[in-house]
């Protein structure tokens, strides 16, 4: 069985330990020859990397494992590249969230002005990283889930139009499907969804039972109305995520046609959400106090002990397992179905061809084969065209160094919708991002 070489870009991420555990757990299904962690932050990466060394020595000695900040060492001879960089770290995420909130506008890492700010930071570093990767591994599959995935996907579409081995993907739609399975009392693999939208802005039109073909959406609608909606892993979630999933009930009361992605709340209730987010303690603060703290403490305990035995349980992490299954579907030409970000070209018939949309696709060694959803109703078309314009204008602003395009991107965004507020927030974001953004004139 072929062994695959894989590098994780953003190896110091809070999600990396989950990936390392999942690679161990899934080694029979997806054997690795070499696993490399690459990060620009040596200190952050060494904690995760030293933990990984101990884990792999004990559970996966047949795979070569190492971590590095050197590009050549990281990218040589790779089959797969998993990209999970957070440019600017949680400190910049905190500003992305707090600056708009100071002006009464949603502060969120991927939606609205926060997403715009993070998008311009990610675009520059993602483009650089992909040129570096292609120098050493011209044929590797690049799986990107660095955020904001919608804006990054638009940038990569423009920068690398002929590179058919870059796949942009997010596991939030899958997370919603898994949460439906919890409510229905079945396994998520029994469900076969139909979905349309943009990344972090979409809807399920049907959730079929894979065996019988029955559409379970009416049943789900009734269950959600009666019991609300919880993430599949509710017991491990922070308060803000439980509130986010809780909003699905409200979304379905107001717009009962389809089951929404949880992120839709920011676009459909911007005033309500902005009023209910704490401008002094945002999600970045919550993550720094919870996941980031926990992950780094756990790694340090294992490093001090010199062993994982007695300290961790090896089980797959849902996020990591999902991304590894994506890689397996490509590696083994499985043509499994995933919800993927693709260039539209008719998948959503009444949206532009060059929009990066999110739909179900079969995924094999020749890439995604998107499934068509036909024409979408006017309400959804209007919402998505508006957001697509905002995302395209953000990338126009990046390439043209244009303040005007940036202002237009924020003004047209539903979470802002006011040119005066857009200008004030943009000026504050320019100041905060001066080490990261191209100059906007
Ligand atoms: N779409 C999804 O399904 C999904 C799910 C979870 C996380 N994510 C994304 O994964 C990323 C990691 O999230 P996190 O919360 O663990 O963040 P994190 O800050 O813990 O980790 C990100 C790492 O990226 C590194 N980094 C920054 N710039 C880099 C560059 N230019 N090259 C290489 N490494 C770089 C940082 O030093 C850091 O160690 C984020 O982009 C997040 O949005 C996506
Ligand atoms: O606020 P965060 O940093 O906790 O999460 C932001 C990310 O949220 C979604 O990812 C989920 C992921 O879908 C799920 O499998 C699990 O791993 O939790 C993550 C969040 O905790 C979203 O899809 C990502 O794009 C965000 O980065
Ligand atoms: Mn996502």
251 within ligand 1 shell (Cβ under 6 A) = no
User: Considering the chain, what is the average pLDDT of its residues?
Assistant: 97
Give yes or no: 263 in active site.
Answer: yes
Residue 315, helix vs strand vs coil: coil
Ranges assigned E (strand) in 135-190? 141-144, 166-169
pLDDT computed for residue 176 by the predictor: 98
Pocket of ligand 2 (CB under 6 A): 147, 170-172, 175, 283, 287, 318-319
93 annotated ligand binder: yes
pLDDT tens, residue by residue, 206-220: 999 999 999 999 999
How far separated are the first and last CA of the chain, in Å rounded? 54
Helices (H), 26-103: 42-59, 71-75, 89-102
pLDDT band (50, 70, 90) for residue 329: very high
Residue 401 scores a pLDDT above 90 = yes
pLDDT > 90 fraction of the chain, expressed in percent and rounded? 98
pLDDT tens, residue by residue, 189-199: 999 999 999 99
Are 295 and 41 in contact by the 8 Å Cβ rule? The answer is no
pLDDT band (50, 70, 90) for residue 312: confident
Residue 57 scores a pLDDT above 80 = yes
Q: CB-based contacts of 114: which residues, under 8 Å, 6+ apart?
A: 93, 96, 97, 99, 100, 106, 107, 108
Q: CB-based contacts of 176: which residues, under 8 Å, 6+ apart?
A: 204, 259, 261, 262
* Dist. CA 78–CA 132, nearest whole Å: 12
Residue 194, helix vs strand vs coil: strand
Q: Give the Cα-Cα-Cα angle 151, 377, 206 (nearest 5 degrees).
A: 85
* For residues 283-305, average pLDDT: 96
CA of 80 to the centre of ligand 1 (A): 17
pLDDT computed for residue 411 by the predictor: 98
Which one from 245, 263, 266, 380 is the annotated catalytic residue? 263
Residue 316 scores a pLDDT above 80 = no
pLDDT computed for residue 156 by the predictor: 98
Residue 314 scores a pLDDT above 80 = no
Q: Give the Cα-Cα-Cα angle 431, 43, 95 (nearest 5 degrees).
A: 25
Q: Whose CA is nearest to atom 2 of ligand 1?
A: 170
* For residues 335-356, average pLDDT: 98
**pTM score over 0.95:** yes
Residue 315 scores a pLDDT above 90 = no
- Extents of the domains making up the chain: 4-171+286-312
DSSP code for 336: E
* Class (C level, CATH) for 4-171+286-312: alpha beta
């Amino acid at each position: 069985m072929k062994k695959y070489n894989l590098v994780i870009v953003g190896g110091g991420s809070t999600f990396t330990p989950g990936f390392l555990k999942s690679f161990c757990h899934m080694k029979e299904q997806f054997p690795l020859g070499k696993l490399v962690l690459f990060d620009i932050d040596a200190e952050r990466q060494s904690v995760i990397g030293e933990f990984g060394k101990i884990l792999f020595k004990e559970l996966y000695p047949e795979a070569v494992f190492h971590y590095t900040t050197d590009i050549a060492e990281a990218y040589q001879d790779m089959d797969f590249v998993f990209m999970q960089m957070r440019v600017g770290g949680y400190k910049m995420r905190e500003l992305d969230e707090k600056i708009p909130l100071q002006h009464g506008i949603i502060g969120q890492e991927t939606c609205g002005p926060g997403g715009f700010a993070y998008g311009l930071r990610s675009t520059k570093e993602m483009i650089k990283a992909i040129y570096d990767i292609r120098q050493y591994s011209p044929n590797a599959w690049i799986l990107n889930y660095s955020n904001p995935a919608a804006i990054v996907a638009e940038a990569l579409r423009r920068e690398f139009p002929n590179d058919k081995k870059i796949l942009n993907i997010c596991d939030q739609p899958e997370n919603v499907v898994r949460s439906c399975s919890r409510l229905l009392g079945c396994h998520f693999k029994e469900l076969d969804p139909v979905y349309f939208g943009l990344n972090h802005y979409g809807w399920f039109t049907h959730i079929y039972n894979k065996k019988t073909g029955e559409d379970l959406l009416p049943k789900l609608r009734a269950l959600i109305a009666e019991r609300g909606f919880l993430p599949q892993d509710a017991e491990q979630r922070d308060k803000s995520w439980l509130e986010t999933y809780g909003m699905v009930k409200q979304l379905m009361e107001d717009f009962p046609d389809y089951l929404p992605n949880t992120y839709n709340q920011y676009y459909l209730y911007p005033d309500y959400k902005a009023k209910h987010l704490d401008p002094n303690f945002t999600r970045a603060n919550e993550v720094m106090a919870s996941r980031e703290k926990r992950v780094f403490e756990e790694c340090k305990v294992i490093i001090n002990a010199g062993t994982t035995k007695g300290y961790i349980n090896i089980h797959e992490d849902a996020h990591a397992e999902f991304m590894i299954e994506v890689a397996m579907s490509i590696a083994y030409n499985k043509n499994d179905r995933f919800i993927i970000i693709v260039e539209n070209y008719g998948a959503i018939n009444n949206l532009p061809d060059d929009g990066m949309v999110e739909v179900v696709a079969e995924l094999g060694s020749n890439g995604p084969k998107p499934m068509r959803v036909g024409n979408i109703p006017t309400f959804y078309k209007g919402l998505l065209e508006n957001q697509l314009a905002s995302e395209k204008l953000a990338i126009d602003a990046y390439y043209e160094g244009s303040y005007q395009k940036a202002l237009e991107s924020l003004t047209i965004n539903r979470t802002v919708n006011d040119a005066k507020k857009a200008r004030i927030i943009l000026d504050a974001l320019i100041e905060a991002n001066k080490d990261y953004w191209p100059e906007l004139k």
